[in-house]
Amino acid sequence: MKEISVETHSKVEMIDITAAVQKTVREEKIEEGICLVYTPHTTAAITINENADPDVPRDILVALDKAVPLPLITGTWKGTPRRMLNLLWSEHPN
């Protein structure tokens, strides 16, 4: 199993990891099979997006902020503010 590290620059952002995943698969000389990408962190998520429209990541972040505005979930909440989104949108919250 390979690990990909991602550097973040703000509390809420979307990062395209496609190139990193492709590079890892290529380096492992995998020609056929399934590549599982997951995050063990409760404050992160993996989404699939065709990346045809560069506005989609921004639109997703705007929709998330409308669903759960940051001031609504700040305070003494354990973890980062977006952990609340995992609890709202996940079948099995961590």
Higher pLDDT, 75 or 45: 45
Establish if 1 belongs to a structural domain.
no
Count of domains observed in the chain: 1
Average pLDDT, the chain: 77
- The pLDDT of 56-75, averaged and rounded, is 77
Establish if 13 belongs to a structural domain.
no
Burial of 16 (0-12, 13-18, 19+ CB in 10 A): exposed
Residue range of the domain that includes 83 = 18-89
pLDDT at position 12, please?
83
Nearest CA among 43, 35, 51 for reference residue 90: 43
Establish if 73 belongs to a structural domain.
yes
User: What does DSSP assign to residue 70?
Assistant: G
Residue range 26-58, pLDDT digits in tens:
999 988 999 999 988 777 888 888 878 889 888
pLDDT at position 27, please?
94
Tell me the C-alpha distance between 5 and 2, whole Å: 10
**Model pTM score:** 0.66
